[in-house]
Amino acid sequence: MGRIFNWVGSRFGVKEPHRRFLERPVPAGLNYSYCLGGMAFTLFLMAAVTGLLLTVYYVPSEPEAYRSVIRIQEDVRLGWLVRSTHKWSANLLIVCIMLHTVRVFVSGSYRPPRELNWIAGVLIFVLSMASGFTGYLLPWDQKAYWATVVGTAMAGTVPRIG
């Protein structure tokens, strides 16, 4: 692959302007677990785009919420695909954020000078969990109702706040 890139670079001169970027040393011990942050960002973009598409047909009222979800699934062209993509990207986003958080903690990447990155990451994790919980409630079916009951009961057990 290097020979092909060098051949293309010698013909078109693409390597010279990007030499500083292309010839950086790769740190030792780098593996695929370092891609979890990028995967989480990609999944966030997928969830955001499909969420925007779903808002076109979703009706956020108590009597209509469940019916609008069924209509998206059955009547809207490729609605089942958009909804499934949204569901899976949101679920995998939470998984990737959790794995990324564990990787950062285990590798000690939260230490100075990156402690502000750690704080921002923890806030993003909390925000993602909250959005996952509220998104879980949107269809307003039996599962969403009981998740609301359990979630509010859990919040009620917090000392001095609940």
Q: What is the CATH number of domain 33-108+118-141?
A: 1.20.810.10
Rounded CA gap, 32 and 148, in Å?
37
The reported pLDDT for the residue numbered 1 is: 66
Q: What is the mean pLDDT of residues 33-55?
A: 96
The answer to whether 63 and 138 are in contact (CB under 8 A) is no
pLDDT value at 102 more than 80? yes
The mean pLDDT value for 56-62 works out to 93
Quick count: other Cβ atoms within 10 Å of Cβ 160?
A: 4
**In the predicted model, what is the mean pLDDT of residues 133-151?**
90
For the chain, the straight-line distance linking the first and the last C-alpha, in angstroms and rounded, comes to 60
C-alpha distances in Å from residue 157, one per residue of 14, 25, 92, 110, 152:
61, 51, 29, 30, 9
Say what the pLDDT of residue 13 is: 75
Residue 21, H or E segment? helix 19-22
Most confident of 15-19, 99-103, 106-110: 99-103
Of the candidates 135, 142, 117, which has an alpha carbon nearest to the alpha carbon of residue 44?
A: 135
Predicted pLDDT at 117: 92
CB 97, CB 124: distance < 8 Å = yes
Instruction: Say yes or no to pLDDT of 111 above 70.
Output: yes
Whole-prediction pTM: 0.80
Q: Is the pLDDT of residue 89 over 70?
A: yes
Q: Taking all residues of the chain, what is their mean pLDDT, rounded to a whole number?
A: 90
- 10, amino acid identity: S
Confidence of residue 120 (pLDDT cuts 50, 70, 90): very high
Average pLDDT over residues 33-46: 96
Amino acid, res. 28? A
> By mean pLDDT, which of 10-14, 78-82, 141-145 is the weakest?
10-14
DSSP label of 17: G
Is the confidence at residue 18, as pLDDT, over 80?
no
pLDDT at 10 > cutoff 90: no
